[in-house]
Structure 1
């Protein structure tokens, strides 16, 4: 059963008061913020770090929050610093302390230059739940990380809004999410299809591209999705 829906891409134009109101109205919602330090990632999806800190400070305790880490920032989070040096990912840890509940690492394992052991150790170091995407290139991570706070997201689309043609069973003993082309026009059908596959397993859904307009998060689209799936998801939310 689906107990959580993530809207990814809170940005500098997002009305944070409305986000808080939506989170109160729909307890199954989580809002994701994208972080990248890669120079070419300069579109509206990626706020600057100081802007992310402001978003977290203003929404902490008022909405569930996730940080989706992209580009070279993944390596900064994963690699343990040399003895005596500063932790390169400390600013991410500061966001976790400020109110981020989950951290998603967006990378391709075959190109990232990281080891499964490094990724596992980094996930164990943080107090947050840590999500990695599952697709063929990341299979070694999905199967090799044993950290108890590791979670998995099916997303071959990679945030491009390409709809999934079908859904696989959730991973055993790991909280599993589903993304890829979910939006206002198909949210109800997608929820039904995912719940049919998940059965009694508790899973979540994530959407990004199809809830944006002109590159920015569209809260009207988010509200439309939330209202349409509320009859199903609200019954699955555990109080507290």
Structure 2
């Protein structure tokens, strides 16, 4: 099954918010991923909370908040990120989590996404119906896997790792072979130029995705692994 959404992650304070709004307006399958940390410290991919608040409001309903770091996680669980999450149907909570923390976090999002890897295997047991999983075998290093695999679950599953303008078209068919209902793709590192977000790269990926998913080709579904 072809992924149904593309998340373009990592817009920063140099990014024109109006350009992001135009990108989602003209591409109905696009979601903008906004990275939040409690300690941005001037790092390019972590905008200030004030900028994020403005961007999230402008993108209302067409963005996801990616919660990064222990401080931001504590803020989410304390219900202190409503100024951001109220505009985002999906919230991604990054890092290694306990089952209890992930389950509690589901209270603060329409859809709560956690990262799926060996150290988060227990999160397959999150009982909340609004829980989803993001598979990134590279651990955020932007490296495509030798083969895409998905956990054996009915939860929506997204895929990340090494995706960008030069790789997305080739990888989409392989991802479609293991994707389930509600699947999406997410990319960040390859949308950056000198560590700053590129709207041009994001737009190129949106166009590739739209072209591929509106003209799907039949695929053979391999067996999933546990």
Whether 1:102 aligns to 2:90 is: yes
Among residues 131, 135, 159, which one is paired with 1:178 in the alignment? Answer: 159
Give TM-score, length-normalised by structure 2: 0.87
CA contact (8 A) 1:3 1:234 kept: no
Which residue number corresponds to residue 140 of structure 2? 159
The CA deviation at 1:161 is: 1.1
Q: Is the 8 A contact 1:4 1:29 kept in 2?
A: yes
**1:179-211 deviations in whole A, cap 9, x for unaligned?**
00101111001111101222x633100000001
Give unpaired runs (5+ residues) of structure 1.
79-87, 110-114
RMSD value, Cα: 1.9
Residue 44 (structure 2) pairs with residue 44 (structure 1) = yes
1:204 aligns with 2:184: yes
Structure 1 pair 89–160 and aligned structure 2 pair: CA distance change class (3 A): farther
Distance 1:75 1:138 in 2: 18
- SS of structure 1 residue aligned to 2:4: strand
Q: How many residues align?
A: 214
Match of 2:221 in 1: none
Task: Give 1:61-76 correspondences, 5 Å limit.
Answer: 64-72=62-70, 73-76=72-75
Matched, 1:118 2:101: yes
Per the alignment, do residues 172 and 230 of structure 1 end up closer, same or farther by CA in structure 2, a change over 3 Å counting?
same
Does structure 2 conserve the Cα–Cα contact (< 8 Å) formed by 1:152 and 1:175?
Answer: yes
Q: Separation in 1 of the partners of 2:173 and 2:50? A: 39
Q: Give CA deviations for 1:77-128 in whole Å, capped at 9, x if unaligned.
A: 23xxxxxxxxx332x123222x11111011123xxxxx312321221x2242
Shift of 1:235: 6.4
Kindly state the Cα deviation for residue 70 of structure 1 after the two structures are TM-superposed.
0.6
1:220: how far off? 0.9
* Structure 1 residues 138 and 233: CA distance shift in structure 2, 3 A: same
Among candidates 79, 89, 94, match of residue 89 of structure 1: 79
Q: How many angstroms apart in 1 are the aligned matches of 2:187 and 2:109?
A: 24
Is there any run of 5+ residues in structure 2 with no aligned partner, and where?
217-226
